[in-house]
Chain A
Amino acid sequence: MSVGSLLNAIQDLPLSAAMRGESAGTEWLFPIVETVHVLMLAIVFGSIAMVDLRLVGLTARGSSISRLTDETLPWTWTAWVLSAISGTLLFMSKAVTYFGNFEFRMKFIFMGLAALNMLIFHFGAYRRVSQWDTGVAPTSARVAGALSIAFWVAVIFFGRWIGFTT
């Protein structure tokens, strides 16, 4: 099955039609799902930014980073899963259009970069977090924090521009 026919098959699902508001009672489905998406992405980026800003040294200086990540990460992941589910539903409504959209592709490239950056941080500087937990983060951790903010802001910007270009 080619990508094109797969996208068409997704778009032809009854759920996708409902996301387009094609039948009575589903007219508000897209706005509702999109609002959930916005609420959840706000928690995703907001909670990530708290950790990033601490790493960079712009806020909460002197407080424990491992405690901060312990407190925020469960919320980040929960909200991310709900963002992904609502985002998938939004995608299904116009799968062919979104897949071919430049901003949509850029959004996912930057989300991939953010994930890669997180992995490098997690298996790099964060393994020795006990040495700098309440102090100034090492350069590699500060760079990871700054990159994370930049990547996620790019995700948000491209995400918003999808709505203007599809």
Chain B
Amino acid sequence: MFRPFADWLATTRLSELFQNQLWVVPTSQSIHITSVCLVFTSAIMINLRLLGIGAQGRSISQLCTTLVPWMWGGLCVLLLTGAVQTIAEPVRQFVTPAFWAKMVMILLVAIMTAAFVRKVRTNAARWDAAGTRPASARAFAVSSSLLWILIIVCGRLIGYTWVLYA
């Protein structure tokens, strides 16, 4: 159902421009990966802190204040460069199940993260107090880490599987 849209998008002036300038896609992908580094490591760092494994020297609210702005900024760069890659190669993206799985998981993890950050911000004192973290925090840490890993796996999978569907 997305195929006609992808075929149309591929014929637009902007898409043709991106396709003809051979440096656009590799450069966009390189910026994409650089942003993946910042977003993924920030998420893992916060999650390790929640699980009591890493970054024990800083409080949870401190860690969130430092890292979350980089995560949202990085996510914006990811969406922008991802859009460039999608406009340049629409069929590759829209026909591939890994692309849609990736999009759904990004939406999910973004909502989860926003809700979590809100909770930490509105109740920083309780989060920073010593003692065990609520089970929900540990569930968030495990599930969002898994989602980020699967998002990266799906991203790589698009490149390897799209020819099967095109």
Number of A-B contacts (CB under 8 A): 80
Q: Mark A99-126, 1 if CB is under 8 A from B, else 0.
A: 0000000000000000000000000000
Contacting residues, chain A, for B33 (C-beta < 8 A): 38, 41-42, 156, 160
Stretch at the interface among B3-11, B51-59, B106-114: B51-59
Measured between alpha carbons, how far is A72 from B41 in the docked complex, in Å?
Answer: 10
Q: Are B37 and A46 in contact (CB under 8 A)?
A: yes
Helix, strand, loop or mixed for chain B's interface?
helix
Asked if A10 is at the interface (CB within 8 A of a chain B CB), the reply is no
What band does the interface of chain A fall in when counting residues whose beta carbon is under 8 Å from B? Answer: 20 to 34
Residues of chain A within 8 A (CB-CB) of B62 are 63
Residue among A38, A43, A64, A72 with the highest chain B CB neighbour number at 10 A? A38
Q: Is the interface of A mostly helix, strand, loop or mixed?
A: helix
Contact segment of B87-95, B117-125, B126-134, B149-157: B149-157
Please encode chain A, from 38 to 72, with 1 for each CB lying within 8 Å of some chain B CB and 0 for all others.
Answer: 11011111110110000000011001100110111
Could you tell me the distance between the alpha carbons of A70 and B160 in the complex, rounded to whole angstroms? 38
B137 adjacent to chain A (CB < 8 Å): no
A sample of 12 inter-chain contacts (CB < 8 A) reads A31-B156, A31-B160, A35-B156, A42-B40, A45-B41, A49-B38, A64-B57, A71-B54, A71-B57, A71-B58, A153-B34, A157-B27
Q: Report how far A50 CA is from B55 CA in the complex, Å.
A: 12
Give A134 to B38 CA distance when docked, in angstroms. Answer: 23
Residues of B in contact with A, size category: 20 to 34
- Tell me, rounded to whole Å, the shortest Cβ–Cβ distance linking A41 to chain B: 7
Q: A46-B42, A160-B33 are in contact. List 12 more A-B contacts (CB 8 A).
A: A35-B152, A39-B152, A39-B153, A42-B36, A45-B37, A47-B41, A50-B45, A59-B66, A71-B55, A71-B58, A153-B34, A161-B26
